[in-house]
Chain A
Amino acid sequence: EDQVTQSPEALRLQEGESSSLNCSYTVSGLRGLFWYRQDPGKGPEFLFTLYSAGEEKEKERLKATLTKKESFLHITAPKPEDSATYLCAVDASGTYKYIFGTGTRLKVLA
């Protein structure tokens, strides 16, 4: 069965303290892996799409990487405004029906 697992469930960082969020997946055939940011009371906001192992994407303090079994979202020198829930999703079937993980709640303290 296709599955996406995110860890940790929650993470508290001091401002400037870099860290990584993990998304591990078990799917029959990966078509794409996606990262989203979700603020409280809002819909998820698209961040990145990764297609193949070894691929990397960057946006400001965020960098997403992909291996054959997992993806990491690296957060460098985070700021309080980076506090949010980060969601990972995969498109395993090519039918554009994503499978979502349950997310990592990130809190960055000033």
Chain B
Amino acid sequence: NAGVTQTPKFQVLKTGQSMTLQCAQDMNHNSMYWYRQDPGMGLRLIYYSASEGTTDKGEVPNGYNVSRLNKREFSLRLESAAPSQTSVYFCASSDPSVKANYGYTFGSGTRLTVV
């Protein structure tokens, strides 16, 4: 019963390096999301994918790109990491068609430090 799996769990990058955060869900959810969580700022939406084949910008998309590889997988790429991207990144999924309970299921997070 894995739910939402994120890799890696921890990462340290140097300024200017690139990396891809991976996310996969096994609940057959249509919608997937990437959030970042910073102290005092709460969770902020970076990008989301309402369904396979579609992606849209959230509140803080600058410096990031995403790929919805298939229904299960949604990756987040940092092309040129900056210290301001030091954060905890959460992937989430949901099935909004199930109105009775369409809360997000979150992964356990990726703790990224950019030095």
Q: A101 contacts B104, CB within 8 Å?
A: no
CB 8 Å contact bits of A30-73 with B (1 = contact, 0 = none): 00101010000111111111000000000000000000000000
B98 to chain A, nearest CB (A): 10
**A101 contact from B35, B42, B45, B96, Cβ within 8 A:** B42
Contact B102 A49 (CB under 8 A): yes
Chain A positions within 8 Å of B106 at CB level: 36, 43-45
How far does the Cβ of A7 sit from chain B's closest Cβ, in whole Å? 13
Distance (whole angstroms) from the CB of B103 to the closest CB of chain A: 4
- In the complex, residue of chain B having the shortest beta-carbon distance to the beta carbon of A89: B43
Asked if B103 and A46 sit within 8 Å, CB to CB, the answer is yes
In the bound complex, residues from chain B placing their C-beta under 8 Å from that of A34 are 103-104
* B92 contact set on A, CB distance < 8 A: 43
Residues of chain A at interface, number, CB under 8 A: 22
Q: Is the C-beta of B94 less than 8 angstroms from some C-beta in chain A? A: yes
User: Which A-chain residue is minimally distant from B41 (CB atoms)?
Assistant: A102
Q: How many B residues touch the partner, as a band?
A: 20 to 34
Most buried by B among A32, A46, A95: A46
A97 touches B102 (CB 8 A): no
Q: Are A102 and B40 within 8 A (Cβ)?
A: yes
* Contact A103 B42, beta carbon cutoff 8 Å: yes
Which chain B residues have a beta carbon within 8 Å of chain A's beta carbons?
Answer: 4, 31, 33, 35, 40-45, 48, 50, 58, 90, 92, 94, 96, 101-109
Contacts from A to B (Cβ < 8 Å): 32, 34, 36, 41-49, 87, 89, 95-98, 100-103
> Can you report 8 A-B residue pairs in the complex whose CB atoms are below 8 A from each other?
A36-B103, A36-B106, A43-B109, A48-B103, A89-B43, A95-B50, A97-B48, A98-B104
Q: Please give 13 more A-B residue pairs, beta carbons under 8 A apart, in addition to A43-B4, A87-B42, A102-B40.
A: A41-B109, A42-B108, A43-B108, A44-B43, A44-B104, A46-B103, A46-B104, A48-B103, A96-B31, A96-B50, A97-B45, A98-B43, A102-B41
